[in-house]
Structure 1
Amino acid sequence: MANQVALTSTHELFLGLPRFPGHETTPSLAHRTTDGTVAAFPGTSWNDWKRGDSGRDAFVYVNSVHAFADDTVWCVDQGGLRPDSAPKNLSTPKPGAQKIVRLDARTGAILDVLRFDDDILPAGARLNDLRMHGSTLYVTDSGLGAIIVHDTTTGKTLRRLSGRKEMLGTSTPTTASPTASASSGKTVNGHKTPKSDLIEISPDGTWLYWGSPTGPLRRASTRLLRDPGIADEQLAAHVEHVADIPLSGGCAMDTRGNLYLSDIDNHRIVLLPPSGERKILASNPGLISPDGSFISRDRHLYVPAPQTERTELFGNPKDLTSKPFHIYALALPTAFDGIALGAAVTGA
């Protein structure tokens, strides 16, 4: 069950495999080998976590996989199973278990492990997804709602807008795409109002975008986010509402500032250009719970379809997912319905 996908410039493909209910026995990170098979990556104890382990030096619950300009692989590990599907002793991260891990895409060597103290990750915080520009990492916290800003050169880290309304989502999805039917709400029924989850950064690194799966999409200046002299109260006044969005499992942004939203309820990809108009870029009944997408260097949009809405987590009496799990790829044209489309944003 893959809900995240990332590719290097040499087309090495990596998958994030979540430990959803009924899918706890799984490696967390996988690599597609040259012969097309998928194998755990790296081939070490990092994928051997089991209940009762500390999780400090193993993947527990990988929620995001991404690759940037340096072609290394970044993994966001929440360090505990989902709080809405596991008892507290398994959903509460043990010391050091919640982390960001950077790996060599060729050898699997662990290059960096980022762990944050309680000031940055207080109780209830859940690292969710990340983007990079230059030496700065931006990470969403979907547990309490926050943006974490980490300078990889100096090691300094800020926690911004923690728990503020700018980090919260609507309790129900907004039908905001053309000809969309009313949202079923099935993926939010019985769950808490979602917090900051989706994240993207503008190609020039000046704007950070975020939103909950139910929206809305917001943005703020990265200059302000990085400035410790600007208090959250001041920063909040500069947060902009960008758009209401359909229920979205993931997103990607290209070098022309177009946003590609995984529309869960309607099994499609919605294109949201800077102009604010909306287009249905692609639809396919196989896009079941489309999640964390990725634009490769050869301008293909990759979208995983993990079927999360068919798991017990969303009210099904038993797990209804069926194998094989699919990753879809779409070659991006230079333009679509009058909108110029760009290339991958790599954080360079």
Structure 2
Amino acid sequence: MDQRRRNIILGGAAVGLSYLFSRGLFAANTEKYLPLKAAIYSPWLANQVALTSNNTLFLGLPRYSPDKATPSLARREQDGSLVPFPNNSWNEWAPEKDGRNAFVYLNSVHIFADDTVWCVDQGSLSPGLFPAQYATPQPGAQKLVQLDADSGKILNILRFNDDILPPGAKMNDLRFHGSSLYISDSGLGGIIVHDFQTGKTIRRLSGRSVVKSSPTKIPAILAHIKGKKAFTPPNSDLIEITADGKWLYWASPTGPLYRVETKLLKDTSLSDEQLASRVQHVYDNNFAGGCCMDSLGNMYFSETVTGHITLLAPSGKTAVIASSPALIRPDGTFISQDRKLYIPVKKPLASGPKDKPFVIYAVALPDQFDGIALGGPVTGQA
């Protein structure tokens, strides 16, 4: 989830809960939904979760509070404890320090077929919570970082020039297929494609309508909180790719969900205007903080306002697979190798451990739900 959206949502927690319960937006009957199980409690707010094939769990921790120190990435140890990962200067950045070789603001954490950990560092802080001078990334601070999941060794750092990341661009999330890396830009709106075989990077659909948000679809409870009168939702934010690598999907939190064939996205003989005409409108999603896709092409949306995890099948059929008052502002979900859907929740639990008030839930996925066949994780393996 982009930090601009996170600011407005966190500030409106009390207002949001009152609104939800008064409108009956949380489903009362939980028997028809898959049960939630607390997978881990965290002392830090987590917006992303990812697991290796042997279930080593990592949390992405946004640098959100100006008065509370937080690491950016944490790993669950064998004894169940959470520790900063790697436990060195990468997690010790502070304003005024150099952000080139440290985590400034992690917006996404993901794990693919090779079990390494990929992080998207936007390189700048929220102007709503920190002084405005920290809202623009230092040169080289916005980056992608790949780490060894066991040792914490930095395996790769990708930085892009102004042709790929012009001023105002914000890398949001990433997905792989084979040697191709796909990145969403939630700042200006756009899709970035990097080819590891050739080393070439292209920027596509920059600023086009299909990568822009829909300000008219901002939920009422998010539009005017604590005097903020101009909440602008991020642009292309959510991103997923089918297991066969054929289709890339993306959406702003406001929707709609779009897709395009990856062969067209990588065809530089097509102008952005021609490419935009080949983009398909898929679905008008509710305001969503995050999503994930399974190996059968089902999309799982983390709905900010409703407390639902909504499933969208390739056929177009939808179903709410999980819904609970506990799912307050769910964010970036992840499907593990043992087919559990992990859901980080950004509201501290009043009834949880005082030293670990944040929770990440897990939902065991059955073979099918409401007549929709469910798959496993998409690992990016060709």
- Could you state the TM-score of these two structures normalised by the residue count of structure 2? 0.83
What residue is the counterpart of 1:163 in the other structure? 207
Calculate the aligned-residue CA RMSD, in Å. 1.7
One of 368, 372, 380 as aligned partner of 1:335: 368
> Which structure's relative contact order is higher, taking Cα pairs within 8 Å and 6+ residues apart?
2
One of 178, 182, 189 as aligned partner of 1:138: 182
Q: Which amino acid aligns with 1:266?
A: T
Secondary structure at the residue paired with 1:186?
A: helix
What residue is the counterpart of 1:256 in the other structure? 296
What is the number of equivalent residue pairs in this alignment?
A: 328
Q: Which amino acid aligns with 1:7?
A: L
Secondary structure at the residue paired with 2:222?
A: coil
One of 314, 323, 326 as aligned partner of 1:286: 326
One of 190, 197, 207 as aligned partner of 1:153: 197
Q: Which amino acid aligns with 1:228?
A: T
What residue is the counterpart of 1:15 in the other structure? 59
What residue is the counterpart of 1:74 in the other structure? 118
What residue is the counterpart of 1:196 in the other structure? 236
Tell me if the contact between 2:61 and 2:70 (Cα under 8 Å) persists in the aligned partners.
yes
**Which 5+ residue runs of structure 1 have no aligned equivalent?**
175-182, 309-320
Secondary structure at the residue paired with 1:76?
A: strand
Work out whether 1:216 is the aligned partner of 2:256.
Answer: yes
| Cα shift at 1:264 | 1.0
Tell me which protein shows more helix as a share of its residues. 2
Tell me if the contact between 1:301 and 1:329 (Cα under 8 Å) persists in the aligned partners.
yes
Tell me if the contact between 1:334 and 1:342 (Cα under 8 Å) persists in the aligned partners.
yes
Tell me if the contact between 2:233 and 2:253 (Cα under 8 Å) persists in the aligned partners.
no
| Cα shift at 1:337 | 0.8
Identity %: 58
In the alignment, the residues of structure 1 paired with residue 223 and residue 120 of structure 2 have an alpha-carbon distance, to the nearest angstrom, of 22
Tell me if the contact between 1:297 and 1:343 (Cα under 8 Å) persists in the aligned partners.
yes
Task: State the Cα deviation string for residues 29-76 of structure 1 (Å, max 9, x = none).
Answer: 000101110000001100000010120000000000000000000000
Work out whether 1:86 is the aligned partner of 2:130.
Answer: yes
What residue is the counterpart of 1:316 in the other structure? none
Q: Which amino acid aligns with 2:95?
A: R
Q: 1:114 to 1:324 in 2, by over 3 A?
A: same
| Cα shift at 1:22 | 4.4
| Cα shift at 1:85 | 3.6
Tell me if the contact between 1:173 and 1:245 (Cα under 8 Å) persists in the aligned partners.
no
Tell me if the contact between 1:130 and 1:140 (Cα under 8 Å) persists in the aligned partners.
yes
| Cα shift at 1:146 | 0.6
Give matches, 1:14-33, under 5 Å: 14-22=58-66, 25-33=69-77
Task: State the Cα deviation string for residues 75-94 of structure 1 (Å, max 9, x = none).
Answer: 00000002444333111100
One of 270, 278, 296 as aligned partner of 2:336: 296
Q: 1:228 to 1:11 in 2, by over 3 A?
A: same
What residue is the counterpart of 1:112 in the other structure? 156
Give matches, 1:311-326, under 5 Å: 323-326=356-359
Q: 1:116 to 1:217 in 2, by over 3 A?
A: same
One of 262, 271, 281 as aligned partner of 1:231: 271
Q: Which amino acid aligns with 1:42?
A: P
